[in-house]
Chains A and B, each alone.
Chain A
Amino acid sequence: MARVFRLNGSTRHAAMPPSAPPAPALALALALALAPAPADGQISIFASKNLDFGILTPGAPLTVLPDDGQRRGELELLADGEVTIVVDVPAAMTSMTGRSLPLYFESGDLWLRFRKGDRTVPFAPGLPVTIRIPRGQGGVFVWIGGTADPPARQQPGRYSATLTVRVIAPGT
């Protein structure tokens, strides 16, 4: 006889002492063990690189492509199974003094890149994209490009913005 319980999404088995008396708690555990086990839904995501536009000249827009390994933003998503990803992008970067520098993102600026193989899935900012990551693939990279467009009279300074990537692994 085995007692089964869930711990952080993984299934563990423990030997049941043969002399243990039956109890309602045990019955509940057995019943739960008979239910279909959900796909492992453990997901984690972490940033590995910021989207770096470098030094800009006022009046000269600069585009970073998602395949630009030096400048693109990059996050690594570890998961398997079906996941839905949404990238929320701001309309501008801001300076310490509150000045804005416009940012633009187009549908080709966001890529999902599978860790194994050459599969790439472009998607648009603000819109959910759902993919299935085969078990054992490890996950995907989220590659982020975009365009910074400082006007001719852009105030000099350092500008930054935060791009948020939301990942949802749906239940069954």
Chain B
Amino acid sequence: MRKAALMMVLAAVSAAALPVGLKAQTANGSVSATAIVEANLTVSVAENLHFGSIQPTMGSTVSPGGPPAGAGQTLGALQVDHNSDVSVSAVVPATLTHTGGSTLPVTFSCGYSASATGALIGAAAACNTLPDVAHPDDGTPVTTFLQVGGSINGADTAAAVPGTYTGNVVFTLTAQY
């Protein structure tokens, strides 16, 4: 019994006499590199929307997608220079306002095009329900025109006070990325 215990002690000491290999310690850390590449988005008014001169009981319509046919009419257009998708929202008035305070009901319609009076890319829509301005997602600078048309009903002009009526459609464009 005592001999066995002694052998166990000797075995333990022998094992301890061998070179002790200490395991290397490792640790990993990480940091992020971050950047934001800003979008290029500029918007300018290419043309205001004009309904022209309207006789009482007569209406006027200016449609997106081509040059207006009526005398004195112009199609409204915003020139949008962008390098990403762009979302569009609009606050659309329901009436045009006379300098004396009278109002004239109006509706608006909008669409996208490659030119101020050219054919539409996609369909016309209410100006406050437009889809995003699409971009090929390759970073290239692109110019898109947001055409703005509208319509005034003849029935609403019958009793309208003569004069100039104006209104503002306010667009908010936001680069998407």
Tell me, in angstroms, the Cα distance from A49 to B32 when the chains sit together.
8
Cross-chain contact B28 with A164 (CB below 8 angstroms): yes
CB of A157 within 8 Å of the partner chain: yes
With both chains docked as a complex, state the minimum distance between the C-beta of A103 and any C-beta of chain B, in angstroms.
6
Residues of A within 8 A of B31 (CB): 47, 49-51, 73-75, 144, 162-163, 165
Q: Is B159 an interface residue (CB 8 A)?
A: no
Contact call A169/B16, Cβ cutoff below 8 A: no
Would you call the interface of chain B mostly helix, strand, loop, or mixed? mixed
Select the residue from B8, B23, B34, B138 with max chain A CB neighbours within 10 A. Answer: B34
Q: A168-B25, A172-B22 are in contact. Are A155 and B32 (CB under 8 A)?
A: no
The total of interchain contacts (Cβ-Cβ below 8 angstroms) comes to 179
> Which range holds the interface residue count of chain A?
35 or more
Choose, from B36-44, B50-58, B88-96, B163-171, the stretch at the interface.
B36-44
* Residues of chain B lying within 8 A (CB to CB) of residue A55: 35-38
**Within 8 Å of chain A (Cβ to Cβ): is B71?**
no
By a CB distance below 8 angstroms, the chain A residues around B36 are 54-56, 157-159
- Whether B137 and A31, one on each chain, are in contact in the complex, defined by CB atoms closer than 8 angstroms, is no
Query: Judging by beta carbons under 8 Å apart, are B25 and A51 in contact?
Result: no
Nearest-CB residue, chain B, relative to A161: B33
Q: Is there an interface contact between B16 and A34, defined as CB atoms closer than 8 Å?
A: yes
Q: Which partner residue on chain B sits nearest A152 by CB separation?
A: B139
Question: Which residue of chain B has the shortest Cβ distance to A160 in the bound complex?
Answer: B34
Q: Which chain A residues lie closer than 8 Å to B23 at the CB level?
A: 171
User: Closest CB of chain B to A39's CB: distance in Å?
Assistant: 9
CB distance from B43 to the nearest CB of A (A): 16
One digit per residue, 1 when the CB lies within 8 angstroms of any chain B CB and 0 when it does not, for chain A 31-67 equals 1101110100111111101111111111000100000
Cα A172 to Cα B123 in complex, Å, equals 75
A125, chain B: closest CB distance, angstroms = 12
Confirm or deny: B113 has a beta carbon within 8 angstroms of a beta carbon on chain A. Answer: no
Does B139 lie within 8 Å of A58, measured CB to CB? yes
Q: Which residues of B1-41 are within 8 A (CB) of A? A: 5, 8-9, 11-13, 15-17, 20-40
Given A28-B12, A155-B177, A168-B24, verify A160-B32 contact (CB < 8 Å): yes
Q: Are the C-beta atoms of B37 and A45 separated by less than 8 Å?
A: no
28 residue pairs of the A-B complex, CB under 8 angstroms, read A28-B12, A28-B15, A31-B15, A31-B16, A38-B22, A43-B26, A50-B31, A51-B33, A52-B34, A53-B33, A55-B35, A58-B139, A74-B31, A95-B177, A153-B140, A155-B138, A156-B37, A156-B84, A156-B139, A157-B37, A158-B34, A161-B32, A162-B30, A165-B29, A166-B28, A168-B25, A169-B24, A172-B20
Q: Which residues of B contact A (CB under 8 A)?
A: 5, 8-9, 11-13, 15-17, 20-40, 83-84, 137-140, 175, 177
Given contacts A27-B9, A75-B29, A159-B34, 20 further A-B contacts (CB under 8 A): A24-B9, A27-B13, A38-B22, A43-B27, A45-B28, A46-B29, A54-B35, A54-B36, A56-B37, A57-B38, A58-B37, A73-B32, A74-B31, A93-B33, A142-B29, A156-B37, A156-B38, A157-B37, A160-B33, A172-B20
